[in-house]
Amino acid sequence: MRAFFGIVVVLIVGVAVVSYTAAHRSGSISESVSTTEVEFELFDDINVAVPSRFGDLETWRRPVGPPRVGLQVGHWKREELPDELKRLRERGGGASGGGKAEWEINLAIAEETKEFLEAKGVIVDILPSTIPPAYWADVFIAIHADGNVNSEVSGFKVAAPHRDLTGRAGSLVDTLEAEYARSTGLRLDFNVTRNMRGYYAFNWRRYEHAVHPMTVAAILETGFLTSPVDQRVIVAQPRIAARGIADAVLKFLDV
């Protein structure tokens, strides 16, 4: 009987290895190169108390004024990152493809998104890699593009922070997924990693240069710069990508 169970275990492990290898070669398991992963920073402990510098968040109230949105351009001006993020400052500059560096694509999409939102009376801040200390906005979206050694891998993905004190980041993610897919026609990539949800700009517990805990935040990988399919949108027609982001934000804010 023991020999029988031993054979079963060996067979199961063998099938798992073969399946993983096949998936990896097909590109269904991402093998990213020069992506935003260099800017990810996991929370040490998601249950740690809120730092005292934020005061009593239970009594926090939204500042009076029109809706405000922060659009972070991933990898833009990364050489200006503060010393607390020195490790990120010294690493690579993101993905590349279609004759463009990632920050160029991210900036083009952010600028087009800003135009759409401002037409609806929304105040928009375009932010570089460095986030102002305790930055607050009704919505914060970190705009990035992905990369992969396999040019057939394509699609976009969205993630919320590990810790969301607003309770609304999940709704923002759902809205972004729906509207971005509708506008761009790109498929949704479900390969959201634990690292994406630990993006450094979300980590207000560890870093001074991160969003305020009451900022509804998400990170959007707009597509793969290494994919000819995705390049047709994010490189050739960034306004289409921007339209999807803007529509999602306006719907989320009910503007």
The answer on 110 and 18 residing in a single domain is no
Nearest C-alpha neighbor of 179 from the set 74, 233, 110, 251: 251
pLDDT in tens, 85-97: 999 988 867 999 9
Q: Within a 10 A sphere around the Cβ of 73, how many other Cβ atoms?
A: 24
Average pLDDT over residues 193-218: 94
Average pLDDT over residues 65-93: 92
The answer on 171 and 102 residing in a single domain is yes
Average pLDDT over residues 71-76: 97
Residue 49 — very low, low, confident or very high, per pLDDT cuts 50/70/90?
Answer: confident
Average pLDDT over residues 100-114: 97
Residue ranges making up the domain that contains 193: 33-253
Phi (first) and psi of residue 69, to 5 degrees: -130, 135
For residues 142 and 140, what is the distance between their CA atoms, to the nearest angstrom? 7
The answer on 85 and 42 residing in a single domain is yes
- Chain-centre distance for alpha carbon 236: 21
For residue 19, pLDDT over 80 is answered with no
The answer on 4 and 119 residing in a single domain is no
Greatest alpha-carbon span in the chain: 72
pLDDT averaged over every residue in the chain: 85
Tell me the CATH number at 207.
3.40.630.40
For residue 21, pLDDT over 90 is answered with no
Length of the chain equals 255
Residue 253 — very low, low, confident or very high, per pLDDT cuts 50/70/90?
Answer: very high
Number of domains in the chain: 2
pTM summary value: 0.83
The answer on 97 and 37 residing in a single domain is yes
The answer on 202 and 191 residing in a single domain is yes
The answer on 52 and 143 residing in a single domain is yes
pLDDT in tens, 125-154: 999 999 999 999 999 999 999 999 999 999
Average pLDDT over residues 191-203: 91
Quick one: pLDDT at residue 18? 42
The answer on 132 and 19 residing in a single domain is no
